[in-house]
Amino acid sequence: MKNIIPKNKLNNLLSIPVLTLILSLILTFNLSAASSSGELSTSVIYEQEAERWQDQSLLELDFQQDLSANLNYYLEGALTLESYYQQDQKEREIDFEFKEAYLNYYTDRVDWRLGRQNFSWGSSYNINPLNYFNPIDQGAIDPFESRESVDGIRADYYPNFNWQLTGVLTQHAEIDELQSAVQLIRRRWQGYDFAASVFSGNSLQSVPAGRNFYPEVNKIGFDFKGDFSSKNIGLFSEVVYSDYQDSRLENTNEIIIGLDYKFENNLYLLGQYYYQQLPPVQAKANQLLILRAEKPFGYFHNWELNLISDLKKGMSVVRPSLIFSLNEGLDLETGAVLKLNQKKESSLNQLSQELLYLSLSKYF
């Protein structure tokens, strides 16, 4: 597939924050069809590798409003204030961003979405080979759960209840290149959902080759999910083949297969295996094991444990956390990111650094 639309056209088309606010003022002068929510949190973080303290305050607001029966918009903005303390030195940073900002337009068979958005393709946990579009936020406590939105256009066509055809055109977050993809979904076939997709654009991950660059690549992906056996054990898988257009890079395969199950005592367990070939010549494939466990306790509280283990290098990253519900909509969370048997050559070193944190969050 070829990118045939000039770059600047997408930039001009996707001035969504301004466009949505203008439409809101023109088409409606009341908030009767509006809904809003948000989060106010403050965190104290100790970064062990950098040996510094950080305090972080976050105000996040979500706003959605219907402009007509088949037109609405959604805005999610975040104001972040961070301070770093190291060796009697203090640095402060303040940032505001529209995390998502898009228009939805609905017709009888096609749903349109225009603007800054996240795309949740794939069925696996944390690591998604089918995540063609949204870069992970390396600065987050759990970067896989904090993906960066991109500007794009999405169209979902529903010929009937069981089938869905989706087309996407987005802009690459780093190099202003366009990405295009199509996905076909078949739901509820023998108890499973199946999806096949094709993608053309640039890789989300930079490849070191004298300098970091985002190579052109075509991808074919498949995924399925569903329950098997009478015990309702979940089964899911993703497979992606990448055809790199640079002669210095080799074509690759990525495979994920996993299981999850929730016991009668509400203990939830998930495990998945990830095999990832790397495009640079002579680079060895990654083999990762991802485990997750969580369980409520004391009626309102919850503990979680996440583990990513490099099966070849023997290194692991562990993320334990405890979440205490102090009141309705008020949570206290404490946790850590720990690296076990740390190996310099392991791909897990690219994840967030070791840290301890304490966070208080109010949801409204």
pLDDT given at position 23: 52
Q: Residue-wise over 221-248: b if at least 16 C-beta within 10 A, else e? A: bebbbbeeeeeeeebbbbbbbbebeeee
Give the model confidence (pLDDT) of 259-318 as tens digits. Answer: 999 999 999 999 999 999 999 988 899 999 999 999 999 989 999 999 999 999 999 999
Give the model confidence (pLDDT) of 132-180 as tens digits. Answer: 999 988 777 777 778 899 999 999 999 999 999 999 999 988 888 899 9
Which residues are CB-contacts of 213 (< 8 A; sequence separation ≥ 6)? 206, 207
Return the SS3 of 121.
coil
Q: Which residue has the tokens 């066509």?
A: 157
pLDDT given at position 19: 55
For residue 158, what is the domain's CATH number?
A: 2.40.160
160 inside domain: yes
114 inside domain: yes
For residues 360 and 57, the answer to whether their CB atoms sit within 8 Å is no
Number of domains in the chain: 1
Which residues are CB-contacts of 56 (< 8 A; sequence separation ≥ 6)? 42, 43, 45, 80, 81, 82, 83
278 inside domain: yes
Containing domain of residue 168, as a range?
107-283
216 inside domain: yes
For residues 286 and 275, the answer to whether their CB atoms sit within 8 Å is yes
126 inside domain: yes
For residues 179 and 173, the answer to whether their CB atoms sit within 8 Å is no
Q: Which residue has the tokens 């780093």?
A: 174
Q: Which residue has the tokens 């969370």?
A: 333
Angle made by CA atoms 301, 304, 308, in degrees to the nearest 5:
170
**349 φ, ψ (degrees, to nearest 5):** -65, -15
